[in-house]
């Protein structure tokens, strides 16, 4: 008993000290830890240990860069050595041929590798992930062979006699000097990487990794974000490459083989993909282990191969896994009264509306007024092989109404949604929103035009907390630049706080604020659907498409859903609803369209639809059919 109490005391102390540690900013922690480690190594004074530490720092920099690509964005890059090589060659050539100072070459090395990342990424990012891995492998080998055949860069001999870096007249030429430079660069790389991770960009990456299709459909520009990941990853590699070149003093193509790419991959897999301290641990293991276990140094690749496979099988999260948990996400935020929340949302939304009207007026267009057509669909056809899923459908949704689309299974309802949201391109026909065509736009563009959606099968980002899911929905509304993100500027911070606050409001709106810190998968089915609604609303759409929001809900939950839908309409948002629950549809809708086998068979007020013989036939079959069935049955 006493033992347990004591243990609890220790646990409390641990939690408390961890909380206090958590309040120290990340950059301060990084600098403190690196300074202590660097100081210890320098005081030790052993040149060999210092040299190993410099190599660890180099690998850690590489690992940080690859971590952005593999860990954050979830893209397997097997040619990462190419960026290392491009950085090293850029810096070395500038130093030997143009006699630049090392520190002056750094921006160019980073710029070149970033560009290389864009060149590699732009055409290839549409590929599926396994092909992408092979393409990056090919890119890595091509880069190496090109350097090998490029006479200006010394061909197979490489570049020799790269000068030492000169820091305001002081020549850096001992391992100790390099350790200091390396740790400074590493600190910068770590702080930037962490800032990226904890930003809108980082959330976008995680969302893409979790479910690219859903991310794109709630407004995350997935291709651009993946390209960013390549560019950023390349830049980190370039930094490490330049540092490596000046430190070694000579480079040649054999320094940049596929084996290096694999080693860096091992660094992050061992440490834990996506985890920053993990990268340091991984670099330490990969570099220092062969030094410590000298007798196995020849067999190090064998050991690494076994480690790699073993980690994947037994501990895929790595030695120091990435933790993304915030049990109290809104801690420290300004408290808001519940009536206040609704008011604020309304006000916020009105601001959005006004802004839209201004934008439209500036472009010489008119915003549809209440009761006028907001979404117009004209002669829409979508065909899969011989099957016409949507056959020449024409209707309009008026601003401010709740419009339902019903019909038997396979009627083409979800296909219609997919066409409107840009997931599929219709074969023929027009879709106009706000008077402008949206056919052929990518889903995230359509979201930013003002159409939000939920999915028939729930597509939340499973390993993100509820509030983070909603924050992803806010992605299209913020304009923070990447450099602001990296520097964690006050403007970016303000934007983040606003994002957090707004996500809290939307969760309050659907009644889920109390579970904001839970993982999305821990919620009940009905609650998950409500999170999806909050995520769609967070982008401040003018039109929301709900695909079977009531599926799997019990009667009480359905009642709540009805009130949420009405509240959404009261904000001035137009709602289009697909559902099979007739009583819900009849109760909530202003107008209803009925689709059967892709054809629009009826359109009108709920009462009219209930009386419509064509609708009754579609649902129940004709009377003769029933009689025939009976006859056959007997």
560-576 b/e (C-beta count within 10 Å ≥ 16 → b): ebbebbeebbebebbbb
Q: Is 333 in the site for other proteins (CB under 8 A)?
A: no
Q: Closest separation between CB of residue 617 and other proteins, Å? A: 33
Q: Which is nearer to other proteins, 155 or 379 (CB)?
A: 155
User: For residue 558, what are the CA distances in angstroms to 103, 536, 551, 591, 624?
Assistant: 64, 19, 9, 19, 36
Residue 306 CB, nearest distance to other proteins (Å)? 6
Single out the segment in contact with other proteins by CB under 8 A; choices: 95-103, 312-320, 488-496, 551-559: 312-320
CA distances from 131 to 76, 128, 216 (A): 10, 6, 21
**Sign (positive or negative) of CA dihedral 137, 138, 143, 148:** positive
Give the residue, chosen from 6, 10, 160, 309, that forms a contact with other proteins under the rule CB under 8 A.
Answer: 309
- Both tokens assigned to 587: 């109760």
Contact between 305 and other proteins (CB under 8 A)? Answer: yes
Would you say 76 or 487 has its CB closer to other proteins?
76
Closer by beta carbon to other proteins, 309 or else 361? 309
Least CB distance from residue 285 to other proteins, whole Å?
15
Task: Indicate whether 308 belongs to the interface with other proteins (CB under 8 A).
Answer: yes
Minimum distance from residue 394 beta carbon to other proteins (Å): 32
Q: Which of 301, 481, 607, 627 binds other proteins (CB under 8 A)?
A: 301
Q: Who contacts 467 (Cβ-Cβ below 8 Å, separation ≥6)?
A: 326, 329, 330, 500, 503, 504, 507, 516, 517
CA 257 to chain centre: 30
Which two tokens mark 218? 């709630």
The residue among 155 and 621 lying less far from other proteins, judged by its C-beta, is 155
Min dist. Cβ of residue 75 to other proteins (A): 9
Single out the segment in contact with other proteins by CB under 8 A; choices: 184-192, 298-306, 467-475, 516-524: 298-306
Among 94, 242, 262, 602, binds other proteins (CB under 8 A): 262
Q: Given the complex with other proteins, which of 156 and 555 has the nearer CB atom?
A: 156
Binding status of residue 258 toward other proteins by CB under 8 A: yes
| Of 257-265, 393-401, 570-578, 619-627: span binding other proteins (CB under 8 A) | 257-265
Burial of 1 (0-12, 13-18, 19+ CB in 10 A): exposed
Task: Report the 3 state secondary structure along 248-288.
Answer: HCCECHHHHCHHHHHHHHHHHHHHCCCCHHHHHHHHHHHHH
Least Å from the CB of residue 355 to other proteins: 37
Among the listed residues 70, 110, 280, 515, the single contact to other proteins using CB under 8 A: 70
Phi and psi based region of residue 524 (left: phi greater than 0; alpha: psi -120 to 50; beta: remaining): beta
Residue 465 structure tokens: 């907390």
Cα 168 from Cα 163, distance rounded (Å): 15
| 50 contact partners, CB below 8 Å, separation of at least 6 | 41, 42, 44, 175, 176, 178, 179
The nearest distance, CB 262 to other proteins, in angstroms, is 7
- The reply on whether position 475 binds other proteins by CB under 8 A is no
Judged by CB, which is closer to other proteins: 123, or 613?
A: 123
Backbone φ and ψ of 387, nearest 5°: -95, 125
| Residue 78 found at the interface with other proteins (CB under 8 A) | yes
Give the residue with the Cβ less far from other proteins, 324 or 587: 324
Of 83, 102, 304, 417, which lies in the binding site for other proteins, with binding defined by CB under 8 A?
304
Site residues (CB under 8 A) for other proteins, limited to 131-160 = 131, 133-135, 137-139, 141-142, 145-146, 148-149
Task: State yes or no: residue 275 binds other proteins (CB under 8 A).
Answer: no
Min dist CB 74 to other proteins, Å, is 6
C-beta of 519 vs 544, nearer to other proteins: 519
* Alpha-carbon span 237 to 82, nearest angstrom: 8
| Residue among 35 and 306 whose Cβ is closer to other proteins | 306
15 is an interface residue for other proteins by CB under 8 A:
no
Report the residue number, 38 or 233, with the smaller CB distance to other proteins: 233
Which C-beta is closer to other proteins: that of 394 or that of 463?
463
Phi and psi at 572, nearest 5°, equal 95, 10
CA 53 distance to own-chain centroid: 33
Q: Of 239 and 269, which CB lies nearer to other proteins in the complex structure? A: 269
Residue list 174-233, contact with other proteins (CB under 8 A):
none
Residue 252 token pair: 């040649």
Measured in whole angstroms, how far is the alpha carbon of residue 113 from the centre of its chain? Answer: 23
CB pairs under 8 A, 24+ apart, for 40-48?
Answer: 41/179, 42/176, 42/179, 42/180, 47/174, 47/175
Q: What is the nearest approach in angstroms of other proteins to the Cβ of residue 390?
A: 22
What sections of 571-605 are H helices per DSSP?
A: 582-588
User: Among all chains, which residue has been given the structure tokens 């949201």?
Assistant: 421
CA distances from 332 to 328, 329, 335, 470, 499 (A): 9, 9, 8, 19, 14
Count the residues of the shown chain that bind other proteins, applying the rule CB under 8 A.
38
Taking the complex as a whole, the smallest distance from the CB of residue 301 to other proteins amounts, in Å, to: 5
Sketch the per residue contact string, 397 through 436, with other proteins: x for CB under 8 A, - otherwise. ----------------------------------------
Are residues 449 and 418 in contact, defined by beta-carbon separation less than 8 angstroms?
no
Where does this chain touch other proteins (CB under 8 A) — which range of 303-311, 411-419, 509-517, 540-548? Answer: 303-311
- Report which of 235, 201, 530, 422 is spatially closest to residue 209, judged by C-alpha positions: 201
CB of 83 to other proteins, least distance (A): 16
CB of 134 to other proteins, least distance (A): 6
Distance CA 527, CA 504 (A): 15
**Span near other proteins by CB under 8 A; candidates 69-77, 159-167, 540-548, 554-562:** 69-77
Min dist. Cβ of residue 304 to other proteins (A): 7
Q: Give the separation between CA 445 and CA 442, rounded to whole angstroms.
A: 5
Closer CB to other proteins, 135 or 486, in the complex: 135
> Which of 76, 367, 373, 586 is in the footprint of other proteins by CB under 8 A?
76
Residues 79-138 that bind other proteins (CB under 8 A): 123-124, 127-131, 133-135, 137-138
Nearest-angstrom CA–CA distance, 372 and 363? 19
Query: Rule CB under 8 A: is residue 306 a binding residue for other proteins?
Result: yes
C-alpha pair distances (Å), 446 with each of 76, 125, 217, 436, 536: 29, 21, 9, 11, 12
SS3 of 50-84: the string is HHHHHHHHHHHHHHHHHHHHHHHCCCCCCCCHHHH
Sites of contact with other proteins (CB under 8 A): 70, 74, 76, 78, 123-124, 127-131, 133-135, 137-139, 141-142, 145-146, 148-149, 258, 262, 265, 269, 299, 301-302, 304-306, 308-309, 312-313, 316
């Amino acid at each position: 008993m006493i033992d347990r109490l004591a243990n609890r005391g220790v646990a409390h102390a641990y939690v408390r000290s961890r909380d206090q540690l958590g309040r120290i900013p990340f950059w301060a922690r990084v600098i403190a830890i690196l300074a202590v480690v660097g100081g210890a190594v320098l005081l030790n004074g052993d040149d060999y240990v210092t040299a190993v530490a410099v190599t660890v720092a180099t690998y850690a920099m590489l690992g940080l860069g690859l971590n952005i690509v593999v860990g954050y964005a979830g893209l397997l890059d097997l040619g990462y050595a190419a960026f290392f090589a491009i950085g090293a060659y850029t810096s070395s050539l500038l130093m030997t041929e143009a006699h630049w100072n090392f520190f002056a070459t750094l921006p160019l090395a980073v710029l070149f590798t970033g560009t290389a990342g864009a060149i590699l990424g732009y055409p290839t990012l549409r590929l599926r992930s396994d092909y992408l891995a092979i393409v990056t492998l090919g890119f890595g080998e091509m880069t190496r062979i090109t350097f090998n055949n490029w006479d200006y860069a010394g061909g197979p001999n490489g570049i020799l006699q790269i000068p030492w870096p000169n820091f305001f007249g002081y020549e850096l030429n001992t391992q100790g000097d390099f350790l200091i430079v390396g740790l400074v660069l590493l600190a910068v790389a770590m702080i930037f990487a962490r800032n990226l991770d904890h930003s809108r960009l980082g959330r976008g990456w995680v969302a893409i990794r979790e479910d690219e299709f859903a991310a794109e459909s709630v407004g995350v520009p997935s291709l651009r974000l993946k390209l960013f990941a390549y560019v950023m990853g390349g830049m980190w590699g370039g930094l490490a490459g330049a540092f490596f070149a000046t430190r070694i003093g000579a480079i040649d193509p054999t320094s940049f083989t596929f084996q290096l790419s694999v080693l860096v991959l091992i660094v992050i897999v061992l440490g834990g993909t996506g985890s920053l301290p993990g990268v340091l641990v991984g670099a330490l293991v990969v570099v220092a282990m062969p030094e410590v276990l000298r007798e196995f140094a020849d067999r190090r690749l064998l050991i690494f191969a076994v480690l790699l496979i073993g980690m994947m099988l037994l501990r895929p999260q790595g030695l120091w896994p990435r933790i993304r948990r915030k049990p109290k996400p809104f801690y420290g935020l300004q408290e808001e009264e519940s009536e206040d929340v609704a008011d604020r949302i309304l006000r916020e939304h009105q601001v959005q509306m006004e802004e839209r009207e201004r934008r439209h007026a500036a472009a010489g267009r008119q915003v549809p007024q209440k009761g006028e057509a907001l979404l117009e669909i004209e002669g829409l056809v979508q065909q899969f092989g011989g099957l016409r899923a949507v056959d020449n459908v024409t209707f309009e949704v008026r601003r401010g109404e709740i419009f339902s689309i019903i019909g038997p299974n396979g009627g083409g309802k979800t296909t219609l949604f997919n066409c409107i949201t840009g997931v599929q391109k219709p074969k023929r026909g027009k879709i106009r929103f706000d008077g402008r065509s949206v056919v052929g736009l990518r889903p995230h563009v359509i979201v930013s035009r003002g159409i939000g959606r939920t999915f028939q099968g729930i597509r939340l980002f499973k390993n993100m907390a509820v509030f983070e899911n909603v924050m992803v929905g806010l992605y299209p509304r913020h304009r923070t630049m990447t450099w602001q993100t990296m520097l964690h500027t006050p403007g970016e911070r303000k934007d983040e706080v606003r994002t957090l606050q707004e996500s809290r409001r939307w969760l309050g709106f659907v009644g889920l604020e109390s579970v904001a810190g839970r993982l999305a998968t821990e919620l009940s089915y009905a609650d998950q659907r409500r999170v999806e609604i909050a995520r769609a609303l967070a982008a401040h759409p003018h039109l929301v498409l709900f695909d079977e929001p009531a599926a799997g809900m019990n009667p009480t939950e359905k009642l709540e859903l009805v009130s949420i839908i009405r509240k959404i309409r009261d904000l001035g948002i137009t709602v289009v609803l697909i559902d099979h629950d007739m009583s819900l549809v009849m109760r909530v809708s202003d107008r209803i369209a009925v689709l059967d086998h892709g054809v629009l068979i009826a359109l009108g007020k709920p009462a009219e639809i209930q009386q419509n013989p064509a609708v009754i036939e579609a649902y129940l079959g004709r009377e003769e059919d029933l009689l025939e069935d009976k006859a056959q049955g007997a």
